[in-house]
Amino acid sequence: MYYPPFHLFLLTFLLIFASPAIADGPSQLLPHVPHFVDKHHLGHLNHSKQAHIYFREHSRRDVGGAIHASLNLTFHHQTVILDHSIHTTETCTANELTIEFFSHEAFIHAQEAWSTEDKIVFITSKEICVQYNTDSLHTYFSTTDLTFDDDTNVVKARGSFMTLTDIASHGRIICKLSLTRRKSLLSC
């Protein structure tokens, strides 16, 4: 089976969701974590080379159904999607991502998982970080160094902001228009 280059995949995704999705007017898909993702599970702090980034429709017509989409991505490096965990909050500067943990247990879990990797990419949709990415509603931060502070439960990641095409090699779009949680009208 032929898979188009990743840049064409992203262009397709943008064309699908930049155009009006419903006759009532254009919709915008914004980062979203669906109800089935258990944000309390510490396993979401583990890194992986495959993951989903989720989106949900936010429009002036928010009654009834909504468009949901996900990008099923394969990454070049180990990646952690911080939005999938309730255990952290993030802040960014030009070359640093600071990850503060709300519990020492979550901090220790991340320290054990992340300290074995030379390079980790962190993904977040926190507004304070998104300002460093001009082409996305997510921030993609590639690390060159991680510093763990046991006293404050803070990880400082030094590195640089990347684009989605820099960090991912393959992707697949999954989307649906739901009338209710149980019924889908459209899938693409």
Q: Does 8 score more than 80 pLDDT?
A: no
Least-confidence region, from 9-18, 70-79, 125-134, 162-171: 9-18
In the block, residue with structure tokens 């054990």: 112
Average pLDDT taken over every residue of the chain: 80
3-class DSSP assignment, residue 71: strand
- pLDDT score, position 91: 95
Q: Does 7 score more than 70 pLDDT?
A: no
- pLDDT score, position 11: 47
Q: How large is the C-alpha radius of gyration of the chain?
A: 17
* Residue 23 in domain: no
Instruction: Measure the CA angle with vertex 173, ends 76 and 69; round to 5°.
Output: 115
* Residue 22 in domain: no
Q: Does 23 score more than 80 pLDDT?
A: no
* Residue 110 in domain: yes
Is pTM beyond 0.85 here? no
How far is residue 133's CA from residue 161's CA, in Å, rounded to a whole number?
Answer: 7
Token pair of 93 as six digits: 């500067």
- DSSP letter at 114 equals H
pLDDT in tens, 83-140: 999 999 999 998 999 999 999 999 999 999 998 788 999 999 988 888 777 677 889 9
Amino acid identity of residue 184, one-letter, is S
Q: How many residues does the chain have?
A: 188
Largest CA-CA distance found in the chain, in angstroms, rounded? 54
Closest by CA to 97, choosing from 24, 155, 23, 164, is 155
* Residue 72 in domain: yes
How far is residue 171's CA from residue 142's CA, in Å, rounded to a whole number?
Answer: 19
Q: Does 188 score more than 50 pLDDT?
A: no
How far is residue 108's CA from residue 115's CA, in Å, rounded to a whole number?
Answer: 10
- pLDDT score, position 171: 85
* Residue 42 in domain: yes
Count up the domains in the chain and report the number: 1
Q: How far is CA 23 from CA 20, 26, 27, 59, 128, in A?
A: 7, 8, 10, 12, 33
* Residue 25 in domain: no
* Residue 185 in domain: no
* Residue 175 in domain: yes
> Domain span at residue 39?
6-17+32-57+65-179
Q: Is residue 65 within 8 Å of 178, Cβ to Cβ?
A: yes
